[in-house]
A and B are shown apart, each in its own frame.
Chain A
Amino acid sequence: MNCANNIVLEIDGRPVSVPCGTSVLTAAAQLGVNIPKLCVTESLKAFGSCRLCLVEIEGRRGTPASCTTPAEAGMKVTTQSPRLAKLRRGTMELYISDHPLDCLTCATNGDCELQEMAGVVGLREVRYGHAGRNHLQAAKDESNPYFTFDPAKCIVCSRCVRACEEVQGTFALTIEGRGFASKVAAGSSSFLDSECVSCGACVQVCPTATLVEKTVIEHGQPERSVLTTCAYCGVGCTFEAELQGNEVVRMTPWADGKANHGHSCVKGRFAWGYATHKERILKPMIRARITDPWREVTWAEAIGHAAAEFRRLQASYGKGSIGGITSSRCTNEETYLVQKMIRAAFGNNNVDTCARVCHSPTGYGLRTAFGTSAGTQDFDSVDEADVVMVIGANPTDAHPVFASRLKRRLRSGAKLIVIDPRRIDLVESPHVKAAYHLPLRPGTNVAVINALAHVVVTEGLLNDAYVSERCELPGFERWSSFVAEERNSPEATEHLTGVAAADLRAAARLYAKGPNSAIYYGLGVTEHSQGSTMVMGMANLAMATGNLGRAGVGVNPLRGQNNVQGACDMGSFPHEFSGYRHVSDDPTRRLFEEAWQVPLLNEPGLRIPNMLDAALDGTFRGIYIEGEDIAQSDPNTKHVTAALAAMECVVVQDLFLNETASFAHVFLPGCSFLEKDGTFTNAERRIGRVRKAMPPKNGMADWEITMALSEALGYPMHYAHPSEIMDEIARLTPTFAGVSYEKLDRLGSVQWPCNDKAPEGTPVMHVGGVARGKGRFMITEFVPTEERTTPRFPLLLTTGRILSQYNVGAQTRRTSNVVWHEEDLLEIHPHDAEYRGIEDGDLVALMSRAGETTLRAHLTERMQPGVVYTTFHHPESGANVVTTEFTDWATDCPEYKVTAVEIRKTSRPSDWQQRYAETRAETTLVGQDPGARRVSP
């Protein structure tokens, strides 16, 4: 319907004005008239099947469903009449006649829309007894670890089917059969065996107890709730943690959450049980040698010991002989405190964060081009995109809630270009098909982006007005001449990239013509020796085509972990303070010196790889690691563990005895996100509150632990609550100047920059001009990685993530998510497997020049010949035993995505795996014999 203004209609004799296109049901709700309903719910399109929301409309025959009837000007609607009441009661009677009458013992008693509607319509009797045909004996499907499907309670309203289609976009559910035989089906024999991704959208919308969380069945319904932010990926979904006392019963995605709009994935929705896992460590522990059993001690003894050791090391080996690592899993406030302690109490700048090994090139590249180290858009922006280019990212696995949003946009007409060595799910999935998949050879990103730019420049697809108005022209001229060179053409680079020139040209034209074209990218861009170059290459392309500074466009990193953006913002890198200001900048440094009352160094400190190298040459002796597991996540495991073993004092603060803790001398038990107060900043720069749902199980919040350590080092800090830490961040960081807990509570969340210029935050950056003044084009010469295939190592290994597991798996491995991923598999193209006599399920030795490990083979045509793939979620897999020390030229981000390897059939674990098992057995003992116990597998 095409109308611009509101329309006025009359409902039950009262006028109401609503926007054109509003349903009668919604218009009535605006008046406070709640028409009975079952199949309609806010998150889904109206369906009109339940026959409860019937109304009478003057001058019209029958009783139309109000959910599917658009309001019209002058319409006179009646929502209550004897006829309507009778019809509704009759409908309810039919529903209830085929529904178990076990309300008092039902898991959703009191939280059931069917029960509520029976009351609303005044149902008092059911004339059709259960003696007739019914579905009451239908078998319950309990295969999914997190929820049950009880068809006996299903009213076939299709909400679950529609949620799977409209919200999640997986199309795993359907209505099977017709008439009385119609039923919800998950495709195959059970939910677990189906295409279902366990996002929980179906459970969320089910109006009965048909789909219900097992925790609710087991514990009953929650009695209180706390609004918080998910601690998994960089989407940063808002959840309601629903509890009984201090026990979580359910995590429910928050409809008003600005990042997720009420949607969730299997991790955030269900995989929170790790917080109470039996392997969680709750008492501080110390030991003299890493081969000694751990000894539980008081907080005072542990903190005092760590501080004394750090000071001893500094006295013996110099002030710069120690450092620390923060984590993207920590809150902004925790991260800020760690870097503050290191700069102020350690007296050096040896602080780094795990963003070093994932998105550090994003910070470098986008800052160089645009002036800010962050993605340009909010997630909502994708709704305005006409063309979406996904490069080196696998959103359906790693950022599922954003992927659902993206797929919805693609289903409604946007075009998709996928640039990835693997045929990821987005390339072709139900109702989504990429216009172009450019299956490039790993390590050739920059050649591809240059070729795309070549087409734009040489085929007259530049946005000259944007460039001349908003970019530095000398740099543009230099860049455009460079990319226009024939050697950068799709045809000239085809032999390097493996991408068909015609496809690349077509993709470039599609992107350039948009009109709104957006780039979304992941670690397949950054984790290369030219990661930073590629980020700049994408920025070049966006500027050249004018795809920056408005909704629907931009360059958008999909951050791996929940607070990658925040950890970077908070000054975790060794060269800069919060807000990305270099330590050598005198006015900035003076600001911090004044606030912190201590002199600060004006030189950059050591990055993580530098710390490890320095440990091996004896100049770096102690480290404080909060929430990070470098022994599993960082490349070349043997190098990392040798460096850790060479240190004299390794302090690990974590939930579990992780792999790094095997080399630790002090273990400080940390808190789960459910026990924290603070903030996370997601991939769209959105700062969201993390609210404490329960007291810290370890007795101390992480920020309090850091404060205690700092005090023991002679630098006391004085915060009574994390909100005071944020107040300090706001005082010292221009982009956070307007941020406060009061504002976050009031607005829900804000996106930085949030300051006087943008008091309620900035959803889209670079509007009206690029943040640094003028956009900067950089020459992005393709420099092939030195990690090349050879006759000895003829295949390329690339690593990544899957949906059910998260990063090193420390959390998700300790949940029922393991049913989907018990072990890391090696994906191999059938041709490569056949050539080596490998069959699906065989044990395979994976060898590189760095090391060897054994994995189980999974043959799939998702891979291109010559490329193999694995994940790193299980420590015993040793995926990073194989990856090498090569890094991004600018930031030292490891080149996880390109390792030359060979594979062969084997029958045993690798030597490393056998040693690993022995080391873990030796290093995870707590207490002396005879009472010693192992606390980690």
Chain B
Amino acid sequence: MNIETMVHNANQIAAFFEAWPEEEAAAAVEDHLRKFWEPRMRTQILEYAKQGGTGLSRLASAGISRLMPA
């Protein structure tokens, strides 16, 4: 999947939750990605984030990092 599109979408999602308290916002981003992103997309964005995640907003990165398997 086009990573630029995914980064853009992840940042959009994060922007909505930006006004929330930090921890709550990161959890909301994670929840949104889990509910609506197909697993391949989650895997891809997570891999991208692990490699530096250029272009991802701070909150998007925080939410994505929570997708990491425990």
Contacts and interface: CB of A to CB of B under 8 A. Distances in A.
Contacts of B39: 603
Interface stretch (A608-616, A621-629, A860-868): A608-616
B32 A783 contact: no
A320 B1 CA distance: 13
Interface in A766-800: 779, 781, 783
Contacts of A349: 38
A413 to B, nearest CB: 39
A616 B2 contact: yes
Interface in B1-48: 1-2, 5, 9, 12-13, 15-16, 18-20, 32, 34-41
Contacts of A605: 38
A613 B38 contact: no
Interface in A863-900: 885, 887, 889-892
A606 interface: yes
B15 A783 contact: yes
Contacts of B13: 889-890
Nearest to A349: B38
A529 interface: yes
B23 to A, nearest CB: 15
B12 A889 contact: yes
B12 A529 contact: yes
A605 B5 CA distance: 17
A613 B45 CA distance: 14
Contacts of B9: 887, 889, 892
A750 to B, nearest CB: 30
Interface in A604-651: 604-607, 610, 613-614, 616-617, 619
A916 interface: no
A619 B40 contact: yes
Given A617-B1, A887-B9, A890-B13, A610 B41 contact: yes
Nearest to B21: A478
Given A613-B1, A614-B1, A575 B36 contact: yes
B1 A610 contact: yes
Nearest to A533: B16
A890 B2 contact: no
Interface residues of B, number: 20
Nearest to A892: B9
Contacts, number: 59
A482 interface: yes
A607 B5 CA distance: 14
A761 interface: no
A779 B38 CA distance: 27
A779 B19 contact: yes
B2 to A, nearest CB: 5
Contacts of B32: 890
B58 to A, nearest CB: 15
A582 interface: yes
A655 B57 CA distance: 46
Nearest to A617: B1
A781 B19 contact: yes
B16 A575 contact: no
Contacts of A610: 1, 38, 41
User: DSSP majority for the A interface?
Assistant: loop
Given A779-B20, A781-B18, A582 B38 contact: no
A579 interface: no
A647 to B, nearest CB: 15
Nearest to B2: A613
Contacts of B19: 482, 779, 781
Contacts of B16: 532-533, 781, 783, 889-890
A781 B59 CA distance: 15
A574 interface: yes
A889 B12 CA distance: 5
B35 A582 contact: yes
B15 A889 contact: yes
Contact of A604 (B2, B5, B35): B35
A927 to B, nearest CB: 39
Given A617-B1, A890-B16, A574 B35 contact: no
Contacts of B36: 575, 604, 607, 890-891
Q: Name which of A575, A610, A779 has the most chain B CB atoms within 10 A of its CB.
A: A610
A614 B15 CA distance: 25
B38 A606 contact: yes
A617 B6 CA distance: 13
A584 B40 CA distance: 16
B12 A603 contact: no
Interface string A570-609: 0000110000001010000000000000000001111100
A533 to B, nearest CB: 6
Nearest to B11: A889
Given A781-B18, A781-B19, A575 B1 contact: no
A94 B34 CA distance: 77
A320 B5 CA distance: 20
Nearest to B12: A889
Contacts of A616: 2
A320 B20 CA distance: 35
A605 B20 CA distance: 28
Nearest to A886: B8
Contacts of A779: 19-20
Contact of B38 (A533, A574, A617, A889): A574
Given A613-B1, A616-B2, A889-B9, 15 more contacts: A603-B38, A604-B38, A605-B38, A606-B38, A606-B41, A610-B38, A614-B40, A617-B1, A779-B20, A781-B15, A781-B18, A887-B9, A889-B12, A889-B16, A890-B16
17 contacts: A320-B40, A349-B38, A350-B38, A482-B19, A532-B16, A574-B38, A603-B39, A606-B38, A610-B41, A616-B2, A619-B40, A781-B15, A781-B16, A783-B15, A889-B9, A890-B16, A891-B36
Interface of B: 1-2, 5, 9, 12-13, 15-16, 18-20, 32, 34-41
Give 5 closest A-B pairs by Cβ, nearest first: A889-B12, A779-B19, A783-B15, A613-B1, A606-B38
